[in-house]
Structure 1
Amino acid sequence: MTSSNSQAGTRIKAVLFDFDGTLSTLRAGWEETMAPMMKVAIAGSAPLTPEQSAELDREIAAYIDQSTGIQTIFQMRWLAEQVAGKGWNPEVLGEWEYKAEYNRRLLESVNARIERLRAGSLSASDYLMKGSVPFLEELRTRGIEMFVASGTDHPDVVNEAEVLGVRHYFQDIAGAPVGRADCSKEKVIADLLEEKGFRGDELAVIGDGKVEIRLARERGALALGIASDENRREGINPVKRERLLAAGAHHIAGDFLNKGEWLEWLGWQTE
């Protein structure tokens, strides 16, 4: 699936990847962890009517959908504002307290998956988007520099890249700075353009969220969307596809299996 490509004719020299949902599916299902946690925090023990409960579900789902890709602390800031604003739950925590609870819940499933990897009952390929390792290998052989920027906490994304056996492909991995509300993706793109000296048309950003796509477009980079089905690890997720189209992705795929197509988008014709 494509839209117009303003980068035609230029060979990409650097690629910035999002991580979760783009390369890794270790955190697949995070939405199903965040949504009920948010609902409990907002509603507390208040006796909501069925209509109020359904409307709250819709509000939470809509927010999660439009905030995909941002740093978790900003999602928890929204949660704290909702708890205070609706007034159903007298116990209003701080954004960092909500983040700690969300991370605790999410890491239960993530760590269980990592343990299965370490025990050998599953392999790294069971948690990588299909075609991703051959694609990364192809980029490396062509001398294209690769980077990761993620809204996941920095120590966690580094550890998960290591567990999945892909850390060595990247010149740098930047996760969310622990204890600071900074956008790692925005900073990494700025550093690549302003400090490392890549031109906008020499940089591609690949991700499954609108945040990185929007940032790429703002800075004149090639914005490539991956509308990943994180359960199947291949094929198009139509919800993500619509989100990425709205954000302005130049091209959209569901996985990395068609390596030739990806290379063509990057300006590198296959032999």
Structure 2
Amino acid sequence: MINLYSGSASWPVRGIIFDKDGTILDFQHMWGRWTQILLEKLTGFGGEPDWHAALGIRAAGDTVVHDPDGPLAMASNEQTIAILAWHLYREGLPWNRAVSLVSQAVMETNRELEELRPVQPMPGLLSFLERCREAGIKMAVATSDDTAMAEQHLEWLGIRRYFQAVVGADRVKRGKPHPDMAVLACLELGLQPEEAVMIGDTKADIQMAAEAGMKAGIMIGGADSSGASAHILSYDSLGISGGGEENG
């Protein structure tokens, strides 16, 4: 039996499902830069939409700070495009034109990001993944990003090999906070949801885990952790026992 523990709390597990942004990779380092590039492209499309309010962000010097309960943190790519296009429509652009402009801006932003590759792992992640691998824990990613983009970001970090499955919002009918992604990820690991725990940085991750019937939902980062089974700031706070030597 393999147990994952944090402080006095512990859970028997066979698998772990990870969110990506803010859980595997540092959210601000990646999406702060993405947002800056995108906002530059959106400027001049018509009117004066409040893009910061639309995305749930605020300016902070040379960067932006996101609302962990907002669209930038939780929305899928499709939802983000719809939100931004609606603001252009509200300013007088035809809906089809608004969607085309935003879609093009997002595509160009993603291309520029590929050149920059501003990815940085969360504290303690790399050693934790290795500990999980040594213990025989199966691992998957469930993200609101598209699957292809998620695969790319994992490759940038050099950690794709640790995950037996990657499930993006484009692979399910309903994204977070619905349970679909977690259920599919567990299915592809050959596990029942109750045999796995979820690690994420938003309430949507925790709700998804609960609705899927997962063993636990662990919150990482500084967001409101109400409803979570545990709250950690670093993967160094998680220990593993069984499946090999105890480590933590």
TM-score by length of 1: 0.66
Deviations, residues 145-192 of structure 1 (Å, cap 9, x unaligned):
1001222222222122123221111111223439x9763884331225
* Superposition pairs of residues 223-234 of structure 1, within 5 angstroms: 223-227=217-221
The equivalent residue for 1:62 is 56
The equivalent residue for 2:162 is 169
Judge conservation of contact 1:41–1:89 (CA < 8 Å) in 2.
Answer: no
The equivalent residue for 1:102 is 106
The equivalent residue for 2:175 is 183
* 36 and 59 in structure 1: CA distance in 2 versus 1, 3 angstrom threshold: farther
Amino acid at match of 1:79: L
The equivalent residue for 1:135 is 128
Judge conservation of contact 1:73–1:96 (CA < 8 Å) in 2.
Answer: no
1:90 aligns with 2:93: yes
Aligned residues: 224
1:158 aligns with 2:151: yes
Which 5+ residue runs of structure 2 have no aligned equivalent?
1-5, 58-65
Partner SS, residue 12 of structure 2: coil
Amino acid at match of 2:93: P
* Superposition pairs of residues 14-29 of structure 1, within 5 angstroms: 14-25=15-26, 28-29=29-30
Amino acid at match of 2:82: R
In proportion to residue count, which structure has more helix? 1
TM-score by length of 2: 0.71
Judge conservation of contact 1:17–1:148 (CA < 8 Å) in 2.
Answer: yes
Q: Structure 1 vs Structure 2: percent identity of aligned residues?
A: 21
In proportion to residue count, which structure has more strand? 2
Structure 1 residue 29, shift from structure 2 partner: 4.3
Judge conservation of contact 2:41–2:105 (CA < 8 Å) in 1.
Answer: no
* 169 and 29 in structure 1: CA distance in 2 versus 1, 3 angstrom threshold: closer
The equivalent residue for 1:12 is 13
Which 5+ residue runs of structure 1 have no aligned equivalent?
115-125, 228-237
Partner SS, residue 81 of structure 2: helix
